[in-house]
Structure 1
Amino acid sequence: MNTKFYKLNINLDGIAKNNGAVAEEFFFNGLKDKMEIEKLKFETIDSIYGDVVDKAYKIMCYVKLLYSFSFN
């Protein structure tokens, strides 16, 4: 299967700062099991951080830095 790479063109900081629930929905329900960030899957990131909203914001920071998405 070919892997397609996309760049996310939305304001990730705005999502995380203004609505943690939206950030959680977007990342953990919308993209879980579909996306890898530099080979680090969401299940692994999920085990690193405790609080959901704080975790979502920290993942936003990862995403903003890497901005390359690999969708299966």
Structure 2
Amino acid sequence: MDTAAAIAPTTHPWVVHAEGLRVRAGRHLAVDGLDLSLGTGVHGLLGPNGAGKTTLMRALATVVKPAGGTL
């Protein structure tokens, strides 16, 4: 048996998938209508201060419940 094949992770079309994601940060809508599909691997998230990066990461980590859309 091939060792690499035995330990290879199962592949999926995407690991994280969001459609029309809306997330609130207090009274502000920090993420509005985001469509996102992330597969396996390392991903980066860049943007200016106040763009909703942390709020998005909190939603992806299921710390914050989305205000709308699917995750």
Structure number with bigger Rg: 2
Compute the TM-score of the two structures, normalised by the length of structure 1: 0.25
Structure having the larger proportion of residues in strand: 2
Structure having the larger proportion of residues in helix: 1
